A and B are shown apart, each in its own frame.
Chain A
C-alpha cells in the first residue's frame, strides 16, 4: 500500500515548520512518529498534499520534571523514552502506567505522546490519561505560543483544535497538589489492538484525603471521555470502598460505548466499572500498606 503523492519537507526549526504549514493552507500535515499518520495515509484516509517532517528539529525529544513538579514532554519524545524513564515513574504513576500499554514495543520506538494527542483517536491511551491529569498541549503558531487543556484540545474523533499553521510542541502535566496516585488499565484482545475499553484515574492525595481527581475513558465513545462526575465523587474525603463504588458507577454511566466485534455496550460499561474499582482499590491498599 502506497500513500498518495505528497510534497515532503524536513525543516530544522519550529518557525520554519510553522511557515511551511502556513503556506500549506490546511493541506499540510505534521509528521512526528508517524505510527498513526502513515497507516492512515496508506489506507488513503489521509492524503495531505504536504508532509512537514519535524524529526529534524533539534531539542524536541525531551521529557523532564521541573522544580515546581510539572512534567514537560516534547513533541519528539517517543513512547519508549517515557516507558523507560525512572524520573517519570517517580513523578507521575499514571503516565508511567500508560507508557508500556501503548500499541506494541516496536511502535513505541517511533510513536510520540504529543502525536497521539494530536491524532485524537478515541482509542488513544495518552489522551484519556492526560484528561485525567488536567494536562495541556502547548501549541506554537505565527502569533506565538498558547496552552490548551487536553480536554478542550481533543475536539472529537480524530479532531484537534490546532490551527492549520500551529505545531503542538509540548505536552504539560501540571504539578500535583499532593502525592500523585492512580493508574491506567486497558483491555485489548491482543497487544497492539485497539482498546475494548481503557480507564485512567489520577488522584492527588493530601494526608490520605483526595484533594484532586480526574477520570478519563478510552475507546468507549466517539471521543476521549472525561468522567467528571466520577472524579468529583472522590474529592474531599479519604478513599473508601463506598466512594470507590460510587465513582465506578458514575464512570460507567459516563461511558458511551457501542456494541461491536470487541464486545457489547453493556460489557464495555462493566469493564469501565471494574477498572475504576481495580485502580482505586490498588491505591487504597498501597496507601494502607504504607501507613
Chain B
C-alpha cells in the first residue's frame, strides 16, 4: 500500500495500525486505508483526488478546506479522516447536479463572487449550509455565516451578493423571490 504521507514517509509505520474506513463522499461510498493521523482534507485531496477542497492556512483559520460533514460545515484540516468513517461528506465537487450548477455556484458566477478562486469552494459550502438552515437570510446573517471563511482578495462584497442571489433563486418565484428582490429594496 502506498502511504498517503508519501512526501515524508514511503511506508506507514509497522506498529501503527492502518484503518479501513468507508465514507460517503458526494453520494458515493468510497473506502481507503488510512493512518489515524491523516487529516480529512488530505484524505479528500490525496486519496480521493477531490482537489476542490483547498488547504490554505492549515491552522483552522481560513476556511478554504470547508466541507459539509453530515450536512454541517467543518474545517477539514481540523478533523481526522478516521472520524469520517461511516459519515457523509460533501465537497465542492458534489455541489452541482448532473447538468446544472448549484444555485450558490450560479450566484458566484452571476454576481462575480470569485476573484482568485482559492477561498471559493469553502465559501460556497458554508453558504449552502446557511441556506439549507435559513432560506431567507439577511445580509448580516450571510456575513455572519461566512465569517469563518477568509478571502485573501478581500472580495467579500460580491461573495455576499452571490449568496443572497442564490437564496432568491432557491426560494423560487412563488415565494416573492426570483432574483430581483434586492433591486426592489433599493430606495
Contacts and interface: CB of A to CB of B under 8 A. Distances in A.
Contact of A5 (B35, B61, B126): B35
A129 to B, nearest CB: 20
Contacts, number: 89
A236 interface: no
Contacts of B126: 105-106
B80 A106 contact: no
Interface in B9-59: 13, 16-17, 19, 35-39, 42, 58-59
Given A42-B59, A51-B36, A110-B79, A105 B74 contact: no
A191 B58 contact: no
A2 B4 CA distance: 11
A57 interface: no
Contacts of B61: 192
Given A51-B36, A55-B83, A1 B58 contact: yes
A39 B35 contact: no
Nearest to A4: B37
Interface string A30-43: 01001100110111
Interface residues of A, number: 30
Interface in B80-97: 80, 82-83
Contacts of A35: 60, 78
Interface stretch (B143-151, B160-168, B170-178): B143-151
B58 A42 contact: yes
Given A34-B78, A106-B74, A107-B75, A7 B16 contact: yes
A7 B148 contact: no
* Interface of chain A, main secondary structure: loop
A192 B148 contact: yes
Nearest to A3: B37
A109 B132 CA distance: 15
A109 B148 CA distance: 11
Contacts of B37: 2-6, 41
A42 B78 CA distance: 9
Of the candidates B13, B144, B148, the one having the most CB atoms from chain A within 10 angstroms of its own CB is: B148
Contacts of A15: none
B36 to A, nearest CB: 3
Of the candidates B80, B145, B149, the one having the most CB atoms from chain A within 10 angstroms of its own CB is: B80
B176 to A, nearest CB: 26
Contacts of A53: 80, 82-83
Contacts of B63: 104, 106
A55 B75 CA distance: 17
A106 B148 contact: yes
Q: Closest 10 A-B residue pairs measured CB to CB?
A: A104-B148, A8-B36, A106-B148, A191-B147, A109-B72, A3-B37, A106-B73, A38-B78, A105-B148, A5-B16
Interface of A: 1-8, 10, 31, 34-35, 38-39, 41-43, 51, 53, 55, 80, 103-107, 109-110, 191-192
Interface of B: 5, 8, 13, 16-17, 19, 35-39, 42, 58-61, 63, 66, 69, 72-75, 77-80, 82-83, 126, 144-145, 147-149
17 contacts: A1-B59, A2-B42, A5-B36, A7-B16, A10-B82, A34-B80, A38-B60, A38-B80, A42-B77, A43-B59, A51-B36, A53-B83, A106-B66, A106-B75, A107-B75, A107-B78, A191-B148
